[in-house]
Structure 1
Protein backbone atom coordinates (compact mmCIF):
# COMPACT_ATOMS: atom_id res chain seq x y z
CA UNK A 1 0.00 0.00 0.00
CA UNK A 2 1.24 3.47 -0.88
CA UNK A 3 0.22 6.46 1.16
CA UNK A 4 1.49 10.02 0.71
CA UNK A 5 1.20 12.52 3.57
CA UNK A 6 1.57 16.26 2.97
CA UNK A 7 3.61 17.89 5.73
CA UNK A 8 3.18 21.64 6.01
CA UNK A 9 4.40 22.17 9.59
CA UNK A 10 6.74 20.19 11.81
CA UNK A 11 6.46 17.12 9.57
CA UNK A 12 8.79 19.00 7.22
CA UNK A 13 11.78 18.78 9.60
CA UNK A 14 10.71 16.21 12.21
CA UNK A 15 8.84 13.43 10.47
CA UNK A 16 8.66 11.08 13.44
CA UNK A 17 7.86 7.97 11.41
CA UNK A 18 9.70 5.86 8.83
CA UNK A 19 9.17 6.78 5.18
CA UNK A 20 10.49 5.68 1.82
CA UNK A 21 10.58 8.96 -0.03
CA UNK A 22 10.42 12.70 0.64
CA UNK A 23 9.26 14.92 -2.20
CA UNK A 24 9.27 18.72 -1.88
CA UNK A 25 6.22 20.36 -3.40
CA UNK A 26 2.99 22.21 -2.81
CA UNK A 27 -0.78 22.00 -2.81
CA UNK A 28 -3.09 24.66 -4.19
CA UNK A 29 -6.07 26.43 -2.71
CA UNK A 30 -4.70 26.52 0.86
CA UNK A 31 -2.42 28.72 2.94
CA UNK A 32 -0.48 27.94 6.12
CA UNK A 33 -1.73 29.85 9.22
CA UNK A 34 -0.88 29.76 12.94
CA UNK A 35 -4.49 29.31 14.07
CA UNK A 36 -4.30 25.91 15.81
CA UNK A 37 -3.67 25.73 19.54
CA UNK A 38 -1.22 23.16 20.86
CA UNK A 39 -1.84 21.99 24.40
CA UNK A 40 0.02 18.70 24.04
CA UNK A 41 3.28 19.52 22.20
CA UNK A 42 4.12 23.25 22.07
CA UNK A 43 2.06 24.50 24.98
CA UNK A 44 -0.18 23.49 27.86
CA UNK A 45 -3.91 23.91 28.55
CA UNK A 46 -2.99 26.97 30.67
CA UNK A 47 -0.65 28.46 28.04
CA UNK A 48 -1.49 26.97 24.64
CA UNK A 49 1.11 27.25 21.93
CA UNK A 50 0.27 27.94 18.30
CA UNK A 51 0.96 25.60 15.43
CA UNK A 52 0.06 25.78 11.77
CA UNK A 53 -3.02 24.47 10.07
CA UNK A 54 -4.28 24.98 6.55
CA UNK A 55 -6.96 27.47 5.63
CA UNK A 56 -8.77 27.35 2.32
CA UNK A 57 -7.60 30.32 0.27
CA UNK A 58 -8.37 30.68 -3.42
CA UNK A 59 -5.28 31.18 -5.54
CA UNK A 60 -2.84 30.37 -2.70
CA UNK A 61 -0.19 27.67 -2.81
CA UNK A 62 1.14 25.93 0.33
CA UNK A 63 4.56 24.21 0.24
CA UNK A 64 5.31 21.19 1.80
CA UNK A 65 -2.47 9.90 13.99
CA UNK A 66 -1.16 10.34 17.49
CA UNK A 67 0.94 13.26 16.63
CA UNK A 68 -1.84 15.02 14.73
CA UNK A 69 -4.64 14.14 17.15
CA UNK A 70 -5.63 17.76 17.76
CA UNK A 71 -6.43 18.17 14.06
CA UNK A 72 -10.00 17.06 13.47
CA UNK A 73 -10.15 16.74 9.66
CA UNK A 74 -8.33 14.70 7.06
CA UNK A 75 -8.53 15.69 3.42
CA UNK A 76 -7.05 14.22 0.28
CA UNK A 77 -5.50 16.73 -2.11
CA UNK A 78 -3.46 16.97 -5.29
CA UNK A 79 0.30 17.48 -4.88
CA UNK A 80 2.53 19.49 -7.22
CA UNK A 81 6.31 19.86 -7.39
CA UNK A 82 6.23 23.14 -9.32
CA UNK A 83 4.25 26.00 -7.74
CA UNK A 84 4.14 27.70 -11.14
CA UNK A 85 2.46 24.66 -12.75
CA UNK A 86 -0.51 23.55 -10.68
CA UNK A 87 -2.49 22.00 -13.51
CA UNK A 88 -1.01 18.50 -13.52
CA UNK A 89 -0.47 16.95 -10.07
CA UNK A 90 2.50 14.65 -9.48
CA UNK A 91 0.43 12.71 -6.93
CA UNK A 92 -3.32 12.75 -6.33
CA UNK A 93 -4.98 11.73 -3.08
CA UNK A 94 -2.25 12.95 -0.71
CA UNK A 95 -3.52 12.94 2.88
CA UNK A 96 -3.33 16.17 4.87
CA UNK A 97 -4.47 16.94 8.41
CA UNK A 98 -6.42 20.18 8.89
CA UNK A 99 -7.78 21.84 12.01
CA UNK A 100 -11.30 23.07 11.41
CA UNK A 101 -12.50 26.35 12.92
CA UNK A 102 -15.56 24.61 14.41
CA UNK A 103 -15.05 24.88 18.20
CA UNK A 104 -17.51 22.00 18.77
CA UNK A 105 -15.26 19.68 16.76
CA UNK A 106 -11.92 21.31 17.55
CA UNK A 107 -11.65 22.68 21.08
CA UNK A 108 -8.07 23.85 20.46
CA UNK A 109 -8.78 26.08 17.48
CA UNK A 110 -7.53 29.56 18.41
CA UNK A 111 -8.33 31.32 15.16
CA UNK A 112 -7.03 34.47 13.53
CA UNK A 113 -5.10 37.08 15.48
CA UNK A 114 -2.59 39.77 14.63
CA UNK A 115 1.03 38.76 14.15
CA UNK A 116 1.82 40.69 17.35
CA UNK A 117 -0.78 38.78 19.38
CA UNK A 118 0.33 35.42 18.02
CA UNK A 119 3.99 36.26 18.73
CA UNK A 120 3.23 37.22 22.35
CA UNK A 121 1.49 33.89 22.84
CA UNK A 122 4.32 31.97 21.16
CA UNK A 123 7.03 33.54 23.33
CA UNK A 124 5.36 32.33 26.54
CA UNK A 125 4.22 28.87 25.40
CA UNK A 126 6.21 25.71 26.03
CA UNK A 127 5.13 22.09 26.08
CA UNK A 128 6.56 18.56 26.15
CA UNK A 129 8.02 19.01 22.63
CA UNK A 130 9.76 22.23 23.64
CA UNK A 131 9.26 25.98 23.38
CA UNK A 132 6.70 27.17 20.85
CA UNK A 133 9.27 29.66 19.46
CA UNK A 134 11.46 26.72 18.38
CA UNK A 135 8.57 25.38 16.27
CA UNK A 136 8.34 28.74 14.48
CA UNK A 137 12.08 29.02 13.89
CA UNK A 138 12.44 25.40 12.72
CA UNK A 139 9.55 25.81 10.27
CA UNK A 140 11.01 29.04 8.89
CA UNK A 141 14.46 27.41 8.50
CA UNK A 142 13.06 24.27 6.82
CA UNK A 143 11.02 26.29 4.33
CA UNK A 144 13.97 28.52 3.46
CA UNK A 145 16.15 25.43 2.90
CA UNK A 146 13.67 24.41 0.20
CA UNK A 147 13.83 27.94 -1.22
CA UNK A 148 10.26 28.77 -0.19
CA UNK A 149 9.34 32.00 1.53
CA UNK A 150 6.05 31.93 3.44
CA UNK A 151 5.24 35.52 4.44
CA UNK A 152 3.05 34.50 7.39
CA UNK A 153 5.81 32.29 8.85
CA UNK A 154 8.58 34.84 8.19
CA UNK A 155 6.58 37.75 9.65
CA UNK A 156 5.78 35.74 12.77
CA UNK A 157 9.38 34.55 13.23
CA UNK A 158 10.63 38.13 12.92
CA UNK A 159 8.06 39.40 15.44
CA UNK A 160 9.02 36.62 17.89
CA UNK A 161 12.70 37.55 17.48
CA UNK A 162 11.83 41.18 18.12
CA UNK A 163 9.96 40.32 21.32
CA UNK A 164 12.80 38.08 22.47
CA UNK A 165 15.44 40.73 21.84
CA UNK A 166 13.31 43.34 23.64
CA UNK A 167 13.07 40.96 26.59
CA UNK A 168 16.82 40.18 26.45
CA UNK A 169 16.07 36.51 25.75
CA UNK A 170 17.85 34.45 23.12
CA UNK A 171 16.32 33.39 19.81
CA UNK A 172 17.12 30.39 17.70
Structure 2
Protein backbone atom coordinates (compact mmCIF):
# COMPACT_ATOMS: atom_id res chain seq x y z
CA UNK A 1 0.00 0.00 0.00
CA UNK A 2 1.20 3.50 -0.83
CA UNK A 3 0.37 6.91 0.59
CA UNK A 4 1.59 10.28 -0.66
CA UNK A 5 1.90 13.24 1.70
CA UNK A 6 2.11 16.74 0.24
CA UNK A 7 4.25 19.26 2.10
CA UNK A 8 3.99 22.98 1.43
CA UNK A 9 5.84 24.35 4.48
CA UNK A 10 8.76 22.96 6.46
CA UNK A 11 8.22 19.50 4.95
CA UNK A 12 9.71 20.89 1.73
CA UNK A 13 13.17 21.14 3.29
CA UNK A 14 12.86 18.90 6.36
CA UNK A 15 10.60 15.89 5.98
CA UNK A 16 11.37 14.43 9.40
CA UNK A 17 10.20 10.94 8.35
CA UNK A 18 11.38 8.16 6.06
CA UNK A 19 10.00 8.19 2.55
CA UNK A 20 10.51 6.16 -0.62
CA UNK A 21 10.29 8.98 -3.15
CA UNK A 22 10.08 12.78 -3.26
CA UNK A 23 8.34 14.63 -6.06
CA UNK A 24 8.29 18.43 -6.46
CA UNK A 25 4.86 19.50 -7.64
CA UNK A 26 1.77 21.50 -6.82
CA UNK A 27 -1.86 21.16 -5.87
CA UNK A 28 -4.53 23.20 -7.61
CA UNK A 29 -7.11 25.46 -6.03
CA UNK A 30 -5.15 26.43 -2.90
CA UNK A 31 -2.93 29.29 -1.75
CA UNK A 32 -0.19 29.12 0.94
CA UNK A 33 -0.72 31.67 3.76
CA UNK A 34 0.96 32.42 7.09
CA UNK A 35 -2.24 32.06 9.13
CA UNK A 36 -1.30 29.20 11.48
CA UNK A 37 0.15 30.05 14.86
CA UNK A 38 3.13 28.12 16.19
CA UNK A 39 3.38 27.95 19.97
CA UNK A 40 5.60 24.87 20.12
CA UNK A 41 8.24 25.31 17.39
CA UNK A 42 8.57 28.86 16.03
CA UNK A 43 6.97 30.78 18.87
CA UNK A 44 5.58 30.44 22.38
CA UNK A 45 2.16 30.45 23.98
CA UNK A 46 2.75 34.08 24.98
CA UNK A 47 4.08 35.10 21.55
CA UNK A 48 3.14 32.65 18.79
CA UNK A 49 5.08 32.49 15.56
CA UNK A 50 3.37 32.16 12.19
CA UNK A 51 3.61 29.14 9.91
CA UNK A 52 1.82 28.24 6.72
CA UNK A 53 -1.47 26.59 6.00
CA UNK A 54 -3.65 26.54 2.89
CA UNK A 55 -6.81 28.35 1.97
CA UNK A 56 -9.00 27.59 -1.03
CA UNK A 57 -8.18 29.89 -3.96
CA UNK A 58 -9.74 29.31 -7.37
CA UNK A 59 -7.25 29.36 -10.22
CA UNK A 60 -4.17 29.32 -7.97
CA UNK A 61 -1.62 26.60 -7.29
CA UNK A 62 0.56 25.83 -4.29
CA UNK A 63 3.99 24.35 -4.99
CA UNK A 64 5.60 21.95 -2.58
CA UNK A 65 6.87 18.39 -2.37
CA UNK A 66 5.01 15.10 -2.24
CA UNK A 67 6.50 12.19 -0.31
CA UNK A 68 5.72 8.55 -1.04
CA UNK A 69 5.31 6.50 2.14
CA UNK A 70 3.50 3.28 3.04
CA UNK A 71 -0.32 3.41 3.23
CA UNK A 72 -3.08 4.54 0.91
CA UNK A 73 -5.47 7.44 1.51
CA UNK A 74 -7.58 9.02 -1.22
CA UNK A 75 -7.34 12.76 -0.75
CA UNK A 76 -6.02 15.46 -3.13
CA UNK A 77 -4.08 15.16 -6.40
CA UNK A 78 -0.69 16.68 -7.23
CA UNK A 79 0.63 17.93 -10.54
CA UNK A 80 4.14 18.57 -11.83
CA UNK A 81 3.46 20.47 -15.07
CA UNK A 82 1.56 23.79 -15.07
CA UNK A 83 -0.61 22.87 -18.09
CA UNK A 84 -1.25 19.28 -17.06
CA UNK A 85 -4.84 18.10 -17.01
CA UNK A 86 -3.92 14.75 -15.48
CA UNK A 87 -2.26 14.64 -12.05
CA UNK A 88 1.18 13.09 -11.65
CA UNK A 89 -0.09 11.33 -8.52
CA UNK A 90 -3.49 10.92 -6.88
CA UNK A 91 -4.46 10.12 -3.32
CA UNK A 92 -2.26 12.83 -1.80
CA UNK A 93 -2.83 13.61 1.87
CA UNK A 94 -2.62 17.34 2.66
CA UNK A 95 -2.87 18.97 6.09
CA UNK A 96 -4.96 22.15 6.13
CA UNK A 97 -5.34 24.01 9.43
CA UNK A 98 -8.92 24.56 10.51
CA UNK A 99 -9.87 28.24 10.83
CA UNK A 100 -12.35 27.23 13.57
CA UNK A 101 -10.83 28.50 16.85
CA UNK A 102 -12.75 25.80 18.76
CA UNK A 103 -10.93 23.11 16.78
CA UNK A 104 -7.64 24.95 16.30
CA UNK A 105 -6.73 27.27 19.17
CA UNK A 106 -3.54 28.36 17.37
CA UNK A 107 -5.23 29.61 14.20
CA UNK A 108 -4.26 33.28 13.80
CA UNK A 109 -5.95 34.07 10.49
CA UNK A 110 -5.35 36.90 8.07
CA UNK A 111 -3.42 40.07 8.85
CA UNK A 112 -1.61 42.72 6.85
CA UNK A 113 1.76 41.86 5.34
CA UNK A 114 3.40 44.30 7.76
CA UNK A 115 1.70 42.79 10.82
CA UNK A 116 2.59 39.23 9.79
CA UNK A 117 6.19 40.32 9.11
CA UNK A 118 6.51 42.03 12.50
CA UNK A 119 5.15 38.97 14.26
CA UNK A 120 7.60 36.73 12.39
CA UNK A 121 10.53 39.05 13.21
CA UNK A 122 9.73 38.98 16.93
CA UNK A 123 8.69 35.33 17.41
CA UNK A 124 11.09 32.61 18.51
CA UNK A 125 10.47 29.14 19.86
CA UNK A 126 12.26 25.86 20.64
CA UNK A 127 12.96 25.27 16.92
CA UNK A 128 14.49 28.73 16.51
CA UNK A 129 13.46 32.15 15.24
CA UNK A 130 10.27 32.30 13.21
CA UNK A 131 12.14 34.23 10.49
CA UNK A 132 14.36 31.17 9.90
CA UNK A 133 11.24 29.17 9.01
CA UNK A 134 10.23 31.85 6.48
CA UNK A 135 13.72 32.16 4.97
CA UNK A 136 14.16 28.37 4.74
CA UNK A 137 10.78 28.08 3.02
CA UNK A 138 11.70 30.85 0.58
CA UNK A 139 15.08 29.20 -0.17
CA UNK A 140 13.54 25.73 -0.64
CA UNK A 141 10.91 27.09 -3.03
CA UNK A 142 13.51 29.00 -5.07
CA UNK A 143 15.78 25.93 -5.23
CA UNK A 144 12.82 23.91 -6.52
CA UNK A 145 12.09 26.53 -9.18
CA UNK A 146 8.81 27.53 -7.51
CA UNK A 147 7.71 31.14 -7.11
CA UNK A 148 5.31 32.13 -4.37
CA UNK A 149 4.62 35.87 -4.32
CA UNK A 150 3.27 35.82 -0.76
CA UNK A 151 6.41 34.11 0.58
CA UNK A 152 8.74 36.38 -1.41
CA UNK A 153 6.91 39.58 -0.39
CA UNK A 154 6.82 38.49 3.24
CA UNK A 155 10.52 37.54 3.29
CA UNK A 156 11.43 40.89 1.73
CA UNK A 157 9.35 42.75 4.33
CA UNK A 158 11.01 40.81 7.16
CA UNK A 159 14.44 41.65 5.72
CA UNK A 160 13.42 45.32 5.48
CA UNK A 161 12.34 45.37 9.15
CA UNK A 162 15.54 43.62 10.26
CA UNK A 163 17.70 46.05 8.25
CA UNK A 164 15.78 49.02 9.67
CA UNK A 165 16.32 47.71 13.22
CA UNK A 166 19.99 47.13 12.50
CA UNK A 167 20.38 50.68 11.18
CA UNK A 168 18.55 52.26 14.12
CA UNK A 169 20.12 49.99 16.73
CA UNK A 170 16.78 48.81 18.14
The separation in 1 between residues aligned to 2:24 and 2:76, in whole angstroms, is: 15
The separation in 1 between residues aligned to 2:124 and 2:151, in whole angstroms, is: 18
Return the match for 2:96 from 98, 105, 116: 98
The separation in 2 between residues aligned to 1:75 and 1:154, in whole angstroms, is: 32
Give the greater-gyration-radius structure (CA): 2
Paired residues of 1:38 and 1:44 also in contact (CA < 8 A): yes
Deviations 1:86-123 (A, max 9, x none): x2011111001110111111111100001100000001
1:149 alignment partner in structure 2: 147
Equivalent runs, 1:97-136 vs 2, <5 Å:
97-136=95-134
1:70 alignment partner in structure 2: none
Which stretches in structure 2 are left out of the alignment for 5+ residues?
A: 65-72
CA shift for structure 1 position 54: 0.5
Q: Secondary structure at the match of 2:5?
A: coil
The separation in 2 between residues aligned to 1:137 and 1:5, in whole angstroms, is: 23
The two structures have a TM-score, normalised by structure 1, of: 0.90
Task: Name the one with the larger strand percent.
Answer: 2
Paired residues of 1:75 and 1:97 also in contact (CA < 8 A): no
Q: 1:75 to 1:135 in 2, by over 3 A?
A: farther
The separation in 2 between residues aligned to 1:37 and 1:84, in whole angstroms, is: 34
Which stretches in structure 1 are left out of the alignment for 5+ residues?
A: 65-73
CA shift for structure 1 position 38: 0.3
1:11 alignment partner in structure 2: 11
Q: Secondary structure at the match of 2:150?
A: helix
1:77 alignment partner in structure 2: 76
CA shift for structure 1 position 84: 2.5
The separation in 2 between residues aligned to 1:161 and 1:135, in whole angstroms, is: 13
CA shift for structure 1 position 163: 0.5
The separation in 2 between residues aligned to 1:96 and 1:28, in whole angstroms, is: 12
1:68 alignment partner in structure 2: none
1:69 alignment partner in structure 2: none
Aligned alpha-carbon RMSD (Å): 1.4
Moved runs in structure 1, 4+ residues, more than 6 A? none
